[in-house]
Structure 1
Amino acid sequence: MAISNRRCRFLFLLFCLCSCSRVSLSYEPRNHEVEALVSIKNGLNDPHGVLNNWDEDSVDPCSWAMITCSSENLVIGLGAPSQSLSGSLSGTIGNLTNLRQVLLQNNNISGEIPPELGALPKLQTLDLSNNRLSGVIPSSLGQLNSLQYLRLNNNSLTGPFPVSLAKITQLAFLDLSYNNLSGPVPKFPARTFNVVGNPLICGSSSTDVCSGSPNSVPLSFSLNAPPGQHNSKKLVIGLGVSLSVVCLILIALALLWHRKRQRNLNILNIGDKPEEGLISLGNLRNFTFRELQLATDNFSSKNILGAGGFGNVYRGKLGDGTTLAVKRLKDVAGTFGESQFRTELEMISLAVHRNLLRLIGYCATPNERLLVYPYMSNGSVASRLRAKPALDWNTRKRIAIGAARGLLYLHEQCDPKIIHRDVKAANVLLDDFYEAVVGDFGLAKLLDHSDSHVTTAVRGTVGHIAPEYLSTGQSSEKTDVFGFGILLLELITGMRALEFGKTINQKGAMLEWVSSFCSYSLGEENSAGKKSRSAG
C-alpha cells in the first residue's frame, strides 16, 4: 500500500515539475463564435448529421461544415441550404457580428425570425425562404444597413409589411412573396421586390404591386408609374437588360469553372481518372475513387469510424479482404481540405516510425481528396478510456511510452522537425496489440532545428492547448509536450480534460486539481518530515 501511494505521489510530483506556474494553468475563455454556433446547432434538428463536426471544444469553427471564415479566422458565412433542418433558429446568431451571409433556405425551420439578426452590421445576404417560419418580420431588420439581398418568401409570416426595410439604402433585392402579410406597402423606388401571394396585400386594388411572376426572379417595379404603354416599354427594356446580365454571368461562371478545373488538374498531375498502382510519390498507392466508393459501401454512414473538422473517416474493405480506414476530406475546393491533403502527404513522406500512423495511399480527383490508412482495430485512446473493460495499468504505460516515442521521433529525428499541434487522446490510435500510433497530421507544421517556434493561427482542441500558444500563436515542440502531459493525465484518471472539470463542477479543473494536489502532497510531506525530525 505504501509503495502504491509513493508511486501515485511520484507521478503527480512529476507533473508539478512540468507545470510552469499557477497562472499558466488556467484555460482561456471559449471562443464566443463557437458558443454561438453550438447554441444554434442545439436549437436545430439535424436528421442527416451535416452539423456533426460542430465540436464545442474547438478553438474556432473555421474547419466546420457549412461555415465560412475570413483570413482572420472570423465567421463570415453560415450556409446550410436544403439540408432538411428543422427546429428553430437561435437568437445567439446575433453574436456572430462578422456574418456577411446567412443561407438557410429550403429547410423546415419553424418558429419566429430572431430579432437578434438586426444586430449583424455586416450582413449582406439573408435567405430564409422556403421554411416554416411564422410570426411578424422583426422591425430590427431595418437596422441592417449593409443588407443587399433578402428572401423570406414561402413561409407563414404574418403582420404588417416591414416598413423599416424601406430605410435600407443598400437593399437591391427583396422577396416576401407567399406569406400572410398585410399592407400598406411602402415605396421602394428602383428596388427589385416581390410580394405576390400575400392575400391581404395582393387584392384587386393592388394589381400594380402584385404583377410580378410568382415563379421567377422578381422584376423591378416602380409604384409611382402610371399603367399603360409606358409600363410595357419599361418592362421590355427591363427584360432585355436582365437577359443580357444573365448571359454575362453565365459566361463568367463558365470561365471560372474552367480555371478551377485546370487548377485542380494540376495538383499532383492527377486527372479525373487516375491510374491505379504505384506512382512516383513514394510507395503510396494511387486508388481510384470508384475503388474506395465500393470499399466503403458508397461511404455509408454505417461505416463511419469518426468525424473531424476536415471530414469523416470510414471503414472500408477491398476486394482482397484488406480492411482500411478512408478519410474523405471536405471543402476540397477551399483552404482547409486542400491544405490538410497536402500537409498529410508532405508529413508522411518525411516521418516513418512504428509509433506514427502510416499512409497507405490516396485518391485525388478534381472533386475529391481521400487519404487511406491502415485500419486500427482498437480505435483511439479516447474511445478505449471510456469503454469496458477498462485498460489495465501496464497497457496504459505502454500507450504512454509509445506516444512519447512517436513525438520524440518527430521532434528530434526528423529534419526539419515536425510539430504535431494537436496531441490528444483522440489522435492516438491503437493497433491489434494496443501499440500506440500517433495520427492525424492535418495541423502539423515543419520547423527548422535552428528556429525556436512557428507562429500560426491557433488550432487544436480546448483543454489540450498550451496557454502560451493560445495567447501568442507561437507553437513549438513544447506545445506538443503540453498536449502529451494532458494525455498522461487522461490515461491516469480515465477522463477527458474537460469532462474532469464538469465532474467536480469546476471549469477547466484538471490542471488546477493537479496543482492543488501537488501543493497538498508537498505540504503533507514537509509536515511529515518535520515530525520525523522532531521525533529524532
Structure 2
Amino acid sequence: MMNLLGLLLPMWVSSAILSTIIIDARSEPAKSAISEPASVAQREPTSQFSLKMEAESPGVPKVRVMHHQDLNKRILIAIIVASILLGGILLFSICCWIYRWKNSKNSNEKGRKTLEAGKRMSQSPMMVRFNSLTMVDKKSAVAIFDYQSLEAATNNFHESNVIGEGSSGRIYKARFDEKFLAAVKRIDGFRLGVEREFENEVNCLSKIRHQNIIELLGYCINGESRFLVYEMVEKASLETQLHGSTRGSGLTWNLRMKIAVDVARGLEYLHEHSNPPVVHRDIKSSNILLDSNYNAKLSDFLLAVTSDTESKNIRLSETSGYLAPEYLADGKLTDKSDVYAFGVVLLELLMGRKPLENDALPQCQSIVSWAIPQLTDRSKLPNIVDPVIKNTMDLKHLYQVAAVAVLCVQPEPCYRPLITDVLHSLIPLVPCELGGSLRVTEPAKPVRPESSS
C-alpha cells in the first residue's frame, strides 16, 4: 500500500500544478480587463457612429469586459477537469494494485499445491529444506533432504530397516518422527548411466500424481550415492506377499483382482493420459507396492522412457521372466512391452508361481511356456491356480482372467490388447467396494468345471 501512495502522491501534485496552470492561463485576460476600472467604463460611446469609428480605429485597442461569473465558471471547469483526471489516475492505480495482488495470491496458491508433499513433511525436525529441483521444469518441485537426516531416520542404514532390494539398490524404512515414515532407496556406486537413470526417475515422478503410482517425496545426493525418498507402503511389494514367508495367504481372489485392476489403471495413465506417453519398461511384482489397504502402486521408474525416445539408445532391463520377446531379441520397445509384463504378473496372481522357477524342469522354468497350454484347457485350469485361492472364485471369472492373461503374453505385439481394453475386461470382476463394478449380494459359488471330452 505504501508503494501505491508513493505512486499517487506525485500524480496528485502533477494534477494540482496542471490545474493551477489552467487557472492562471484563464485569469490573465481577466486581470487586464479589471485593471482599467474607471477609464474603460467612462469611454462609453454616445452614438452608434462614434462606436463604429472607435471600434474600427487602428490606434484604439479592443477591450473585452470579463465578468466575475464567467471567471468563476472557467475556474470551476478547470477544477472539475483536474479532479476527473486525478480520479481516473487513482482508479487505474487501484485496479493495477488489485491485479498484481491477485496474481501474487494465485502464484502462492500454485506454489502451495506444488509443495503439498513437502508441507506434510515440514513437521519433521529431520527435514531441513525444500527447493526446486534443477533437473525438472519450473512447474515441478520436490523436497531435498540432507544426507544426515536420512542417516538418522534409517539408523545409519541399518540392516534391520531394509524392506526391499532390487537391481538398482536397497530400500530402507525411514522414521523421521512418530508421524512421518518414508521409504528410502539407496543407489550406490557410479556405474555407467546411473546418473541419467536417477535424473530420469526424478523428472518422471515429479510430474506424475496418480493413486496407483508411487509418490516421490524427495531426493538426496551425497558423493557417488543417490537417494530417492518415497511415500511409505505398509505391505511391501507384491513379490513379498506372493513369494515371501506368507506365500500369498493374505491375498484372496478379490484382493488379487483388485491389485490387477490397480496395476492396469496405473499403466493406462502412463500410456494414455501422460504427456508424452510413458513406457515403464520394468513392470514386475517387486515393483508393485501395496499399502495398508492393498492398493497397488507402480514404482521404480529408473528405466522409464517416453514415446519419443529412441529405443536403440536405451539400456535393456535386467529382469528375466517379464521381458517381451521382441524387446529381448532386438530392443524393440512399445507400450505392448508393458502389456506383456502385465500378463506375466497376472499369471503370478493366478498361480502363485514365480516368473522363472530355477529348480523346475527346463521346459517348465518359464511361467508363460508352462501355463499357456493349460490356460486354454478349461478342465485343467482350476488345477493349476494357487492353492490359496483354489475353489474360492466363480469359475466364469477365472476363465475370463485366464483369457486376458493369454492375450497379454502373445509373442506378437500386434495380437496383444491395449492396456485400456485389459482394464475394462477386469473391472467387472472386482467388487464395488474394492474399486470395481461387481455387485456382490452373496458369496460366489464355484461353478463345476467342464469335463473334457
TM-score between both structures, scaled by the size of structure 1: 0.44
Aligned equivalents of 2:320, 2:201: Cα separation in 1 = 23
The letter for the 2-side match of 1:298 is N
One-letter code aligned to 1:514 = A
- Distance in 1, matches of 2:372 and 2:348, equals 15
Post-superposition offset of 1:424: 0.6
Aligned to 2:236: 379
Distance (whole Å) between structure 1 residues aligned to residue 363 and residue 379 of structure 2: 23
Partner of 1:482: 340
Q: Which of residues 361, 364, 367 in structure 1 aligns to 2:221?
A: 364
Query: Which AA in structure 2 matches 1:279?
Result: N
Per the alignment, residue 329 of structure 1 pairs with 187
1:506 corresponds, among 356, 360, 363, to: 363
Which residue of structure 2 aligns with residue 420 of structure 1?
280
Q: CA deviation at 1:359?
A: 0.3
The aligned counterpart of 1:466 is 324
Q: Which amino acid is the alignment partner of residue 458 of structure 1?
A: L
Q: Please state how far the C-alpha of 1:523 moved relative to its aligned partner.
A: 12
| Residue 519 to residue 391, structure 1, CA distance change in 2 (3 Å) | closer
* Structure 1 residues 515 and 338, CA gap change in structure 2 (3 angstroms): same
Secondary structure (helix, strand or coil) at the match of 2:128 reads coil
Residue number in structure 2 paired with 1:343: 200
Cα offset, 1:422, TM superposition? 0.7
Equivalent pair of 1:418/1:445 in contact (CA under 8 Å): yes
In structure 1, the residue corresponding to 2:131 is in which secondary structure?
coil
Pairwise CA distance, 1:446: 1.3
Which residue is equivalent to 2:131? 279
C-alpha distance after superposition, 1:145-193 (max 9, x if no partner): xxxxxxxxxxxxxxxxxxxxxxxxxxxxxxxxxxxxxxxxxxxxxxxxx
- Deviation, 1:369, is 1.6
Q: Match of 2:147, as an amino acid?
A: F
CA distance in 1, matches of 2:222, 2:229: 15
In structure 2, the partner of 1:456 is 314
Segments of structure 1 that go 5 or more residues without pairing to the other structure are: 1-274, 532-536
* SS of match in other structure, 2:216: coil
Q: Which residue number in structure 2 is paired with residue 43 of structure 1?
A: none
CA positional deviation for 1:508: 3.3
* Deviation sequence 1:119-170 (CA, Å, 0-9, x none): xxxxxxxxxxxxxxxxxxxxxxxxxxxxxxxxxxxxxxxxxxxxxxxxxxxx
C-alpha contact 1:380 1:430 (8 A) present in aligned 2: yes
> Structure 1 residue 402 and structure 2 residue 262: aligned?
yes
CA distance in 1, matches of 2:269, 2:343: 17
Which of 289, 297, 301 aligns to 1:437? It is 297
Equivalent in the alignment of 2:8: none
Contact 1:455–1:473 (Cα < 8 Å) also in 2: no
| Partner residue, 2:147 | 289
Distance 1:514 1:309, change over 3 A: closer
CA spacing shift, 1:486–1:529, aligned 2, 3 Å: closer
Note closer, same or farther for the CA distance 1:452–1:413 as it changes in structure 2 (3 Å cut): farther
Partner residue of 1:315? 173
- The verdict on how the C-alpha distance between 1:348 and 1:521 changes in structure 2, with shifts beyond 3 A counting, is same
Please list, as runs of the form range in 1=range in 2, the aligned pairs for 1:239-254 lying within 5 A after superposition. Answer: none
Q: Find the aligned partners of 1:327 and 1:415 in 2 and give their Cα distance.
A: 26
2:188 touches 2:224 (CA, 8 Å); kept in 1? no
Match runs of 1:29-178 below 5 Å: none
Residue of 347, 351, 354 corresponding to 1:496: 354
In 2, the alpha carbon distance for the partners of 1:418 and 1:288 equals: 30
8 A contact 1:455–1:474 mirrored in 2: no
Aligned partners of 1:304 and 1:312 also within 8 Å: yes
Query: Secondary structure at 1:346's aligned position in 2?
Result: helix
- The residue aligned with 1:98 is none
Contact preservation (8 Å) 1:358, 1:373: yes
* Secondary structure at 2:268 match in 1: helix
Structure ranking higher in helix proportion: 2
Q: Which amino acid aligns with 1:506?
A: Q
Report the residue type matching 2:301 in the other structure. Answer: F
Indicate conservation of the 8 Å contact 1:358/1:374, yes or no.
yes
Query: Does the C-alpha gap of structure 1 residues 365 and 504 become closer, same or farther in structure 2, counting only changes over 3 Å?
Result: closer
SS of corresponding position for 1:495: coil
SS of the residue aligned with 1:278?
strand
Once the 2 structures are TM-superposed, how far is the Cα of residue 522 of structure 1 from its aligned partner?
9.8
- In the TM superposition, what are the counterparts of 1:157-236 in structure 2 within 5 Å? none
What residue is the counterpart of 2:63 in the other structure? none
Distance 2:268 2:285 in 1: 17
Amino acid at match of 2:231: P
Contact 2:142 2:206 in 1 (8 A): no
**Match of 1:443, as an amino acid?**
L
How far residue 485 of structure 1 moved from its aligned partner, in angstroms, is 0.2
Which secondary structure does the structure 2 equivalent of 1:363 belong to? strand
SS of 1:382's equivalent in the other structure is helix
Distance 1:412 1:339, change over 3 A: same
Instruction: Please name the residue that 2:76 is paired with.
Output: none
Query: Superposition RMSD on alpha carbons, in Å?
Result: 2.9
Per-residue deviation, 1:306 = 1.7
Instruction: Say which SS state the counterpart of residue 350 (structure 1) adopts.
Output: coil
CA contact (8 A) 1:361 1:371 kept: yes
Alpha-carbon offset, residue 520 of structure 1? 4.3
Structure 2: distance between partners of 1:474 and 1:371: 29
Q: Which amino acid aligns with 1:395?
A: L
For the residues of structure 2 that align with 1:519 and 1:412, how far apart are their CA atoms?
Answer: 30
Find the aligned partners of 1:460 and 1:411 in 2 and give their Cα distance.
22
Identity %: 34
Distance 1:452 1:314, change over 3 A: closer
Structure 2 partner of 1:306: 164
Residue of structure 2 aligned with 1:446, choices 306, 326, 340: 306
- Provide the rounded CA distance (Å) in 2 between the counterparts of 1:300 and 1:467: 39
5+ residue gaps, structure 2: 1-126, 134-139, 382-398, 400-449
Q: Please, which moves more after superposition, 306-315 or 481-490?
A: 306-315
Deviations 1:47-86 (A, max 9, x none): xxxxxxxxxxxxxxxxxxxxxxxxxxxxxxxxxxxxxxxx
User: Tell me, what secondary structure is at the counterpart of 2:306?
Assistant: strand
Asked if structure 2 preserves the Cα contact closer than 8 Å seen for 1:417 and 1:446, the reply is yes
| Stretch deviating more after TM superposition (382-391 or 368-377) | 382-391
CA deviations 1:490-533 (Å, max 9, x no partner) are: 0000111112x7446634342223322245459999xx9998xx
**Shift in Å, 1:291:** 0.4
Report the Cα distance in structure 2 between the residues aligned to 1:306 and 1:514, rounded to whole angstroms.
Answer: 28
Q: How many residue pairs get matched?
A: 251
State the AA in 1 paired with 2:270.
Answer: L
Amino acid at match of 2:158: S
